[in-house]
Amino acid sequence: MKHLAKTFVVSAALFASTLLPVHAELDVGGLKAAIEASVEADYPRLEALYKDLHAHPELAFEEVKTAAKLAAEMRSLGFEVTEKVGKTGLVAIFGNGDGPVIMVRTELDALPMEEKTGLAYASRDKTIWNGVETFVAHSCGHDIHMTSWVGTAKTLVGLKDRWQGTLMFIAQPAEETVSGARAMLADGLFTRFRKPDYGFALHDGPIPYGYVLYRVGVGSSNSDSLSIKFRGRGGHGATPQATIDPVMIAARFIVDVQSVISREKDPTEFGVVSIGAIHAGTAENIIPDDALVLGTIRTFKPGVRAKMLAGIERTANAATAMSDAPAPEIRITEGAKAIMNDPAVVATAEKVLKAAFGDKLRISPPGTPSEDFSEFGNAGVPSMMFNIGVYEPERWAAANNGGLPLPANHSPLFAPVPKPTIETGIKAMTLAVLSAFDQHARGK
Ligand SMILES: [Zn+2]
Ligand SMILES: [Zn+2]
């Protein structure tokens, strides 16, 4: 029986190897040409979509019209679209035979700020945000991501004889408030739909267009927000002896907390505390009752994060103790976790991207901003996020040769050059997805 079984296995293997085509290496040159032709043909439509998204941005969890536009695009490509996943998110599925499920994520949201690019398609839209009227702008470039996402879907559908499996394209709300990924997961993203085998996302940034930046391991920072209410005892500015001055305590904390970074943290490890807002008092001659300090804490490693949180708390309590004030109210709210790019997914994509982009594919240092794309990786999806550039290479070179720095994401002047940026986004994302399908088909 044992012998027979072995014979059968051997002959079945022979049979398979004779009749099934040997899986060839991905023809990156041919694919690149096919992708470029597809993008060129679609570009007028994609640019119209980009300019429309750019001119009419929406804030976190309010991306109703934006989501509806993307849902219509994906349905027209034959995707099955489910709306309102995680409030305003979308899940678009395209099945193409047996194979892995590959997730591609875009964000939907914009920022509460005024765009000052002067572009013909600049946003002048306003909305009410936290009770206050504000301009809205796509100053983080999520409109580039959305357009690349639609273009990638179109390109992959056009190349469907080159891959087998399922595309799971998700449009995530509220990345800027690092809450949209969690909202989609809590709404059953990986239970109502299949859990993906691989996940990809891209982000644009102030580097030359045509370039793709990536890294293995840490890709973004842990982000925590800090809120401390220092409590004092208000009174007349001319009689400080009868008061406990919370402004003084807050000032002491703001200066001393930087010593947690410079004296307690290992200097070779990344860690930042930035105080972004101070709210206290009403008039020059009144010592207020309390002072509110708001800030952000960024780290890469959990151990560094723990050390910094402990140091911040100790410093706040010490500043308070010096003035014999009541204990401060310290609130640290956990935000996004650092992105960990999966080494195997990156290694597979890297080979294909290198063949397509040559020396325009570069390894980047870890980014210090935060990103909730990390939520999907932490939920068990091996993932990769990479960056693409948005500016003319000559302009970038001039800026790096002593010129003015180019406006980065979140600047009111952030203005990607649409065509080469979107083309690079589609080309890189399509090839990354194809690399994962191909690797899976080879059985790794
Ligand atoms: Zn942003
Ligand atoms: Zn962003």
Per-residue pLDDT reduced to its tens digit, 38-76: 999 999 999 999 999 999 999 999 999 999 999 999 999
* Closest to 190 measured CA to CA, from 378, 405, 406, 441: 378
The CA 85 to ligand 2 mean position distance, Å, reads: 20
The CA 397 to ligand 1 mean position distance, Å, reads: 24
The CA 317 to ligand 1 mean position distance, Å, reads: 33
Summarised one tens digit per residue, pLDDT across range 177-191 is: 989 999 999 999 999
The residues near 132 (Cβ < 8 Å, ≥ 6 apart) are: none
Q: What backbone torsions phi and psi does residue 281 show, to the nearest 5 degrees?
A: 75, 170
User: Which residues have a beta carbon within 5 Å of ligand 1, which is an ion?
Assistant: 140
The CA 399 to ligand 1 mean position distance, Å, reads: 22
Distance of alpha carbon 123 from alpha carbon 366, whole angstroms: 31
Most distant pair of Cα atoms in the chain: their distance: 100
pLDDT at position 95 is 98
The CA 347 to ligand 1 mean position distance, Å, reads: 27
- The model carries a pTM of 0.83
* Closest to 77 measured CA to CA, from 147, 165, 153, 143: 153
Distance of alpha carbon 116 from alpha carbon 203, whole angstroms: 21
- Which ligand approaches the C-alpha of residue 107 most closely? 2
The CA 113 to ligand 1 mean position distance, Å, reads: 12
- Which ligand approaches the C-alpha of residue 145 most closely? 2
User: What beta strand segments (E) does 142-289 contain?
Assistant: 165-172, 198-208, 212-214, 217-218, 222-231, 235-236, 271-280, 286-287
Residue 444 pLDDT exceeds 70: no
The CA 265 to ligand 2 mean position distance, Å, reads: 28
The CA 111 to ligand 1 mean position distance, Å, reads: 7
Residue 261 pLDDT exceeds 90: yes
Residue 4 pLDDT exceeds 60: no
The CA 344 to ligand 1 mean position distance, Å, reads: 27
- Which ligand approaches the C-alpha of residue 204 most closely? 2
The CA 358 to ligand 1 mean position distance, Å, reads: 28
Residue 14 pLDDT exceeds 70: no
The CA 339 to ligand 2 mean position distance, Å, reads: 14
Summarised one tens digit per residue, pLDDT across range 112-144 is: 999 999 999 999 999 999 899 999 999 999 999
User: Which residues have a beta carbon within 5 Å of ligand 2, which is an ion?
Assistant: 140
Residue 302 pLDDT exceeds 90: no
The CA 126 to ligand 1 mean position distance, Å, reads: 18
| Number of neighbours of residue 328 by Cβ within 10 angstroms | 22
The CA 299 to ligand 1 mean position distance, Å, reads: 17
The CA 223 to ligand 2 mean position distance, Å, reads: 14
Bridge partners for 137 per DSSP: 111
By the 8 A CB rule, do 25 and 351 touch? no
